[in-house]
Structure 1
C-alpha cells in the first residue's frame, strides 16, 4: 500500500487570530486514519490554501492577506517539503488555487482585490509570472459588511476540464471562465445570479452527472444546479443547518463523495458537518445527518483519497478531527484528534510504498 501524506495549511498572523506556524506534514495511517507528524515548514505567512500536482511532486500555496503564491518540491520518499520559489498573484488576499487541464498553469483568485491570475508552471515545477490579470466585476449584494466588493472565493476546474467556476461571495453570483491559452488569461463564459445576500462561497461537482452544489456562506444554504457546459441552472435551495437551529452560522466548505450519493457541508456557528443524500433521479438534496465538529470555526474539511474518512479542520479551536464514513454516507467520530494551530486547509498526497 502506498504511503499517504497530509499537508495542513494554516493562519499565522495576529490579524487572523492565527496560532499556526507554517505548513505541517503528516504521515497518515490509511487503516485507522491517524496522523503522525513528519515536518513543520516554518517562516510562511498564512499558507491558507494548498494544492498538489497530479504527479505528486510539487505543492503550491496561496497566502491569506498577502499577495503571493509559493511552490514547493515534495520528497516522495519522506513527504517533506522544500521551498522552490514565490510569485506575486497580482492582488490582495489570494484565497484559492487550482490547476488547469494540462497541469501547466495555476489559477488563483484574489479575494481582496477582485481579480484572477493564471500563473504558468515551469518544467521544474516553479511558478512563472502571470502575463496579465482578469478583473472580476459585477453588482454587489446587499450585505453592508461582507459584500463590499465582489470577493471571488473559489475557482475549481470542472470535471470536463473546460471551465473554471468562480463563486463570488460579494457579488451573489457564480461566474464561469475558459482559458485563453494564447494570452494566458481567463475569459468569462457565463454567470448565474444567486439569491441576494446569499454569498456563494464554494462549489462542488457531481462525479458522474451534470450537477453542481454551492454552499452559500451568508445565509447558510446549499443550492443545487444543473450544469450545462459553462452554464448553471438553479434547481433547489435548502438550509445547510437543522430546521430547529435559530442561531447565527455561516456556510464554509462543501464536497460530494466519490459515488455521488452524498453531499457534505460545514457550518461555522452551528459548528457541524451536514450530510445530505443526493436523489438519484433529480440530484436534489435531503438532509440525512448533522454531526458536531467538536471545535469552533470548521472552515475546511476534506475526504481522504480512499473515501474512508472525513477530516474537519477547526480553525477556531486549533484541532483536526477524523470521522469514519459509513456505507450510508453517515459520519461517526473516531479517536483521531490532531492539535495544530489555526488549520485552514488539508490536502493529501501518495508517496512511495509503505
Structure 2
C-alpha cells in the first residue's frame, strides 16, 4: 500500500514551499519527492474532501491563508498586513476553513466558495498573557473541531483552550479551560471511544489528560511529562497524534529530539512506554500512515524525515530510515 505524503516547510534557506512524496506502508520507505507548490513558508496545510489544499500563505509583507485546487494551482490568497497563520483546518459541514495566527493571537474563519477559494468570514482577537517569557501576548497555535463539532483553540500565550460555537460563519465563545500557568497550550487531540482529550503543552513539556464533557467543558484528569526524568536541557514539545484505536499516543520533543510513546490505560490516563530518538534536529511534526503501521517525523533544522515501523499491538516504534531529505520540513500531512 502507498500513501501520498505532503510536507509543509519554512522557506528561509533552500525550501521552495510544499513538497509531496510517496510512502510505502509495507516497507516504511519514502520516495519520489517533488516540489509540489511554490509558496512562502507554508508551514501547515490540510486538504478537504474535494482535494482542495489549504495552507499557511503569504504575499509580500502580508500574511494569511492560501487556497489551491486539486492540481496544486493557486485559487486565491486571503491575507492582511502582518504574519501569516500557523494552523489551518477544514469544516466540511459548514463550508468553512479555520486558521490560527500565532503572532497576532487571532482565530479566523474563512468561507469556502464553490470553486474552493476562500473569503474571510470572521476574526476573533485573543487577549491576555502568561508568566513565561514567551507569553507576553496571545499566541493561538491551533484551531480545529471537537467531536461535537464546536471549534476549539489552543493559545500558547495565555495557557487557554477556548471553545466556540459557529453560527453563519461567525465565532461565538462558549467555554474556556485554563491549563497550568506557563505551560503553553499548543495542540489537542480527542479520543473517539471516550470523552477524553490530550493537550500538549509546549513550554513545560507536558501532556494534560482532560475529561471532555462536551460543549467545550474540560476538566483535568492527569498531567504527565514528555521528557526523561534526568533531562535538563532545553525542550519544547511540538506534535501530538493518537492511534486510530485510541490505545497509543505519540508526541514529539524539540531539543530532546525524540518521540515519546504512551499507552492509554483503561481510564484513559497515560503510561509512558518508550522514548526514541528521531535521528534529526527539531522534529516539528509527526504523523501516522493511513493504516497506522508507520510513523513519520519531519525535522525543521536537519532537513530530513525519519520513518518508524509501529507495532500495532504494543505501540512501540522501531526506526526504518532517517536519510530522506525534505528541506525545512515542519508539517506532515497524510492524504486521506
Offset of residue 6 of structure 1: 1.1
Instruction: For residues 65-102 of structure 1, give each alpha carbon's deviation from its aligned partner in whole angstroms, at most 9, with x where no partner exists.
Output: 95121111224xxxxx2222211268633111111251
Contact 1:134 1:187 in 2 (8 A): no
Match of 2:180 among 195, 212, 224: 195
CA distance in 1, matches of 2:309, 2:254: 21
CA distance in 1, matches of 2:284, 2:253: 8
Contact 2:25 2:294 in 1 (8 A): no
Offset of residue 240 of structure 1: 0.7
- Bigger proportion of residues as strand: 2
More off after superposition, 330-339 vs 189-198: 330-339
Change in 2 beyond 3 A, CA 1:49/1:191: same
Contact 1:322 1:335 in 2 (8 A): yes
Instruction: For residues 252-311 of structure 1, give each alpha carbon's deviation from its aligned partner in whole angstroms, at most 9, with x where no partner exists.
Output: 11111111111111011111000011111x211111000001011111111111101110
CA distance in 2, matches of 1:11, 1:24: 11
Whether 1:275 aligns to 2:269 is no
Contact 1:66 1:94 in 2 (8 A): no
**2:67 equivalent in structure 1:** 71
Match of 2:250 among 250, 264, 275: 264
Whether 1:159 aligns to 2:150 is no
Q: SS of 1:48's equivalent?
A: coil
Whether 1:179 aligns to 2:163 is no
Match of 1:249 among 207, 225, 235: 235
Which sections of structure 2, spanning at least 5 residues, go unmatched?
none
Whether 1:51 aligns to 2:36 is no
Change in 2 beyond 3 A, CA 1:245/1:336: closer
**1:82 equivalent in structure 2:** 73
CA distance in 2, matches of 1:58, 1:224: 33
Contact 1:34 1:336 in 2 (8 A): no
Alpha-carbon RMSD across the aligned residues, in angstroms, is: 1.8
**1:240 equivalent in structure 2:** 226
More off after superposition, 81-90 vs 266-275: 81-90
Q: SS of 1:47's equivalent?
A: coil
CA distance in 1, matches of 2:93, 2:37: 31
Q: What is the TM-score normalised by the length of structure 2?
A: 0.94
Change in 2 beyond 3 A, CA 1:89/1:201: farther
**1:142 equivalent in structure 2:** 131
